[in-house]
Structure 1
Amino acid sequence: GSTVLIDYGKTDGIAKDMVFNVIKKDKVVIEDKTLGTIFDEQDLFGTVTVTVPSEEISEGVVKQKGFYDRINIGDELLPVPEANGAKTKEDVVPVDKQRPALITLIKSIK
């Protein structure tokens, strides 16, 4: 994959090997009831895996979904939930039920 810079770093809680979904700009919707996020599967362009986290920015490798490179500056990143061991289909958390990274970070500060 291609190497990219992302505007998240260690000060944002980023660590090596974190994986993010790359979603088309302005296509992520925050759900009011669960504080989760919603996006259409067709707006998912691929993933970025962090390889070198720095304080304010990080370097990562892109894995594209599909043949064409549709990723652009300004597309949005959502953390992919960590896999805790083997997951069955019933254990997978739907995208609209995932907790945003900001909420997780705020709760960890308490």
Structure 2
Amino acid sequence: MKKFIILAMLILSINISAKSNSKTGNSIKENTKNITKTQSGNGSSFETAIKVKTVDEEYKYLSVNYPGSTVLGQALVYDDKGTPYDILTVQMPDGKTAKFYFDVTEVFKMYEEMFGL
């Protein structure tokens, strides 16, 4: 039940992020400065996942670093240690696809604190 509630909150925040990103303009670049400070890798694998504090940071990271890209899908997965990751499948402007791994541990901690889970 705990994971279900966290997943529901994650989905809700994704929808809010997608809507807010279409209206934010240049402020996105300013907000991504915090992401690169917490970033532990390039996001190409579990080992190099980008650590984020909100789901919104995932989309901001992509819009700043890969302008013109489109998110095709998103999956919440856990590694063998139980660490939660969002994996975003992205179509690049040249038509190729890539996967980006985001460590969402801090997102889950925030929801647990907010809802006493």
TM-score by length of 2: 0.30
Higher relative contact order (CA 8 A, sep 6+): 1
More helix by share: 2
| Greater strand content | 1
TM-score (norm 1): 0.31
